[in-house]
Amino acid sequence: MLPFSVKAFAKINLGLLITGKRADGYHTLETIFAPINWYDTLEFTESELISMSCTNGDLPVDDNNLCIKAAKSLQRFAGLQKGVAMKLHKEVPFGAGLGGGSSDAATVLRVLNELWRVNASSVELHRLAVELGADVPYFLAMKALAYARGIGDELEDLGLTIPYHILTVFPEEHIPTVWAYKNFYPRFDRELPDLKLSVSELCLFGKRDRFSVFENDFEPAVFDHFASVRCVKSLLLEAGSVFASLSGSGSAVFGLFDNELEAVAAMKRLPETYRMSLTPPGFSMEQ
């Protein structure tokens, strides 16, 4: 029954290895997606037309918005003329590498598939999701840790969760994905580590030496150009984080902590203007 609201959770990347570049210009990668307890809220209300409003005036609410694109994509697929009014309560920062827009789009696909009684299959929804963006399929189909390859659209559910407190920090720098892919330092000829095995040994057996595997290939270039982002990682490590890294292609940095007290203490060492989120161990998007 309308109206109702749904949470759209963000993600971090535990390792992000850019492995090559395709003829169509897209880069291939390997990564581990992990959900965090930082989310937007989407409100759905009956309407004859597809429309959208947003609590953040900096985001477009026209056909350039991923939520509008998702709704119209499903509408075309189903051959329907149904509409919906959406209100996005925006909390996940954009340009952060947290997949907020992709999660919003996946939520729209999933909700409207049921609301409009389209009954598209998971394969059909996956195809629509890939057309919207490389991260969208993860949010559409997965609940916890997933291994991704291709352009991020080839997914494998790992059946794992992170056994640490995750402190995610946005240092108020918006880094466009286009900039990140234009400026990263390629290392296509290296031998790739086994991300799947490493994350399994870390999560199941506590093998902390596996942290060395989880490099983010965007990190060196981002740190060279954005000193405030580099500083966040240093502060998290100084505050007792067992591992810290850039997330995705944006500016958000996350740190993993053994206990909540250390994570909260780290938050107090960071500038008050920075937006932050704390995720408990074992978190999944089913919660």
Q: What is the tens place of the pLDDT at every residue in 143-165?
A: 999 999 999 889 999 999 999 99
41 & 144 share domain: yes
Q: Which of 135, 153, 217, 233 is catalytic?
A: 135
Which residue in the block uniquely carries the two structure tokens 């659209």? 153
Residue 38 is encoded by which pair of tokens? 């930082």
CA neighbor of 268 nearest in space, from 248, 223, 238, 227: 238
CA neighbours closer than 13 Å in the CB half-sphere of residue 194: 6
The predicted structure's pLDDT at residue 75: 97
Does 40 qualify as catalytic in the annotation? no
Percent of the chain with pLDDT over 90: 93
Residue 141 backbone dihedrals phi, psi, to 5 degrees: -115, -20
Residue 73 amino acid letter? S
Is the pTM higher than 0.85? yes
Which residue in the list 11, 87, 90, 233 is annotated as catalytic? 11
State the Cα–Cα distance between residues 236 and 269, nearest whole angstrom.
9
pLDDT at 185 over 90: yes
Q: Is residue 93 domain-shared with residue 190, that is, in the same domain?
A: no
Please provide residue 276's backbone torsions phi and psi, each rounded to the nearest 5 degrees: -140, 160
Question: Residues 6 or more apart from 277 whose CB is under 8 A from it?
Answer: 10, 36, 37, 38, 167, 168
Asked if residue 145 and residue 21 are part of one domain, the reply reads: yes
In the predicted structure, residue 181 carries a pLDDT above the cut 70: yes
Last residue of a domain, one of 127, 157, 187: 157
Active site residue 135: yes
- CATH number for the domain that contains residue 256: 3.30.70.890
Tell me the CA distances in angstroms from 194 to 86, 119, 208, 246, one per residue in order.
41, 37, 15, 19
Q: What is the distance between the alpha carbons of residues 55 and 25, in angstroms, rounded to a whole number?
A: 34
In the block, residue with structure tokens 């992709």: 102
Alpha-carbon gap, residue 121 to 123, rounded angstroms: 5
- Count how many domains the chain has: 2
Question: 144 and 275, same structural domain?
Answer: no
Average pLDDT, stretch 104-114? 97
